[in-house]
Structure 1
Amino acid sequence: MAKQSSKTISKAATPVNLQVRETKKIMLYTQKNAETQIDIGKQTRIGENVTFGPSCKTISIGFGCFLGRDLYIDVEHLTIGDYTTIHHGGIIHGIETSIGHNCWFGHYCIIDSLGGLTRIGNNVGAGAHSQLWSHMKFGDMLAGCRWNSSGSLILEDDVWLVGHSITGPIKAAKRSMLMTGSVAVKDLEENHIYSGSPAKDITAHLGLQFDDPDLEQRQKNFASLKAQYAKETGLSVEAFLDVSSFDPVTANVTQFNLMERTYRPRYTQDEYGFMRFLLYDRAKFVPVN
């Protein structure tokens, strides 16, 4: 994960009032363990009644994120990349959870890592009321119950759980898609679409989630997005350039590589506004140094 901008670090007793100068937004959360290391990126907003539970040891939240109200987070180690949104009422618990950049979770989602590790890549979406499980256990093993499993849950880049979706400790390959109300108990193949309980591959009926536009088409679409942003906001878009490779000495512009879907961030206010305009369904770019 790319290096993030400077952050505000908290190691304090509950509750915590945290003033972030860049957003002029008061963030109020409860910290059950005074030893928890909490590292919060600039331009990140946290809603009311967010709780970091007693199991939390290290929490790192990137630039420009949003955590909605009434979240309960009780995972030993949690890392969240830039521009990730987790809406209200969700639960994150377990041992180790890693969430990438530009992810979006609807309200009342559950993200579990009691199985050991839950790793969620970049640009991953999970609709409201989705449940991501790394373990399945309850039945009496002494009495002969055969159902007891735990392990890593891996969602690779651009996975989309449309909503009310449930996964077990599986691997969802990049760009795979799970339709509304589906239950995935087996691995999902790259760029395939699944539906049902248990989920079955329906790609032959619906096609792939992603096509692969060429550079010319991407440049045309990116120029159109910049023009739309300029029209809606009245702001200049001259600082947003598409490039084939990054120039480390170029200042005062944000460089975007359209084929690799990466950008070289400056973490400025104008860039922040443009990135928020792009997310989450127009375009997603992952930061690189």
Structure 2
Amino acid sequence: MNNIFADEIIIGVGTIIEPTAIIRGLNGNAKKIVIGDYCYIGSNVQIICDEFSIGDYSKIQHDCNIHGYKPCKIGHNLWMGQFSIIDSIGGCTIGNNCGIGAHSQLWSHIKYGDTLEGCRFLSEGKLNIGNDVWFVGHCIVSPITAKDKSMALVGSVITKDMEENTIYSGTPAKAISDKIGPQFNSISLEEKYEKMQSYLNQSGLEDSSIKIVKSKTEIQNDEYSYFVIEDRAYTKKNNIDEHKFMKFLLPEKAKFIPY
């Protein structure tokens, strides 16, 4: 590809990178760029990091910008809406199954004012985003830690750490789960299994190489792609049926990551 500039480039199967996207380092070639399987990087996306990695089935929509001095590491199944920004000047780690709604900005530094003149605001700090975190859209995020399953509603300005499975809203954002409940309800293993079986039936792949099991101990045949409810993971085979099923599940039915 003539729009990726790096000393080491690893790109998975089925990944689409639009020709107007640019991926490079801060001053020339990046050190290492890793993009997983079946990802999509849209038109006019700019990824300007010396070290950048993103997992399988992730989507970065058009006109997004990811930049920074320090490594930016993103897990599987990311959804990044158009015109969003991820800043990794202070370092950024984003877990699996995260959503960044359109026009959101995730920052890891504050830098501009003239320090010689006495400006007090010059700092950077690592941005740590856990698994299943969702910034609904038009969110502005400071260098905070967002714990697993936390959520910020549209237009939120997040200046403090976000607690697990807690919903935030406002400027500055405050927890409102005591009023509207958490992002995730508790669902039994049996309920999840039945729902996944119904998804498999709906997908038209019930007689394929896909198997739904509750526990990893039920894996018996290495030829199948096993989706294990208990671990929320699958035995990745990269075959056609598996790809079709993952596309059917994402983004809102179910999110699984490879073992």
Matched, 1:137 2:111: yes
**CA shift for structure 1 position 46:** 1.2
Aligned with residue 227 of structure 1, among 165, 179, 201: 201
Structure 1 runs of 4+ aligned residues shifted over 4 Å read: 246-249
Which string of whole-angstrom CA distances, capped at 9 and with x for unpartnered residues, describes residues 92-148 of structure 1? 111210000111101111111011x20000000000011111101222223332222
Which residue in 1 is equivalent to 2:76?
101
Which residue in 2 is equivalent to 1:13?
none
**CA shift for structure 1 position 207:** 0.5
Which string of whole-angstrom CA distances, capped at 9 and with x for unpartnered residues, describes residues 167-200 of structure 1? 1110000000011111111100111110111111
State which drifts further: 210-219 or 246-255: 246-255
Residues 183-194 of structure 1 correspond to what in structure 2 (within 5 A)? 183-194=157-168
Which residue in 1 is equivalent to 2:22?
51
> Separation in 1 of the partners of 2:42 and 2:186?
34
2:201 partner SS? helix
**CA shift for structure 1 position 52:** 1.6
1:36 partner SS? strand
**TM-score, normalisation: structure 1:** 0.84
**CA shift for structure 1 position 247:** 6.1
Which residue in 2 is equivalent to 1:161?
135
Which string of whole-angstrom CA distances, capped at 9 and with x for unpartnered residues, describes residues 194-230 of structure 1? 0111111111111000012001111111111111111
Which residue in 2 is equivalent to 1:25?
none
Unaligned runs of 5+ in 2: none
Aligned with residue 215 of structure 1, among 189, 200, 214: 189
Q: Answer whether contact 1:133 1:169 (CA < 8 A) is retained.
A: yes
2:82 partner SS? coil
Residues 138-287 of structure 1 correspond to what in structure 2 (within 5 A)? 138-230=112-204, 236-237=207-208, 239-246=210-217, 250-287=221-258
Matched, 1:37 2:12: no
Q: Which amino acid letter does the alignment assign opposite residue 103 of structure 1? A: L
Q: Answer whether contact 2:193 2:214 (CA < 8 A) is retained.
A: no
The verdict on how the C-alpha distance between 1:258 and 1:58 changes in structure 2, with shifts beyond 3 A counting, is same
Which residue in 2 is equivalent to 1:84?
58
Which string of whole-angstrom CA distances, capped at 9 and with x for unpartnered residues, describes residues 43-63 of structure 1? 111113011234222100011
Unaligned runs of 5+ in 1: 1-15, 17-28
Q: Which amino acid letter does the alignment assign opposite residue 30 of structure 1? A: N
Q: Answer whether contact 2:225 2:242 (CA < 8 A) is retained.
A: yes
Which residue in 2 is equivalent to 1:6?
none
Identity of aligned residues (%): 42
1:79 partner SS? strand
1:59 partner SS? strand
> Separation in 2 of the partners of 1:204 and 1:141?
42
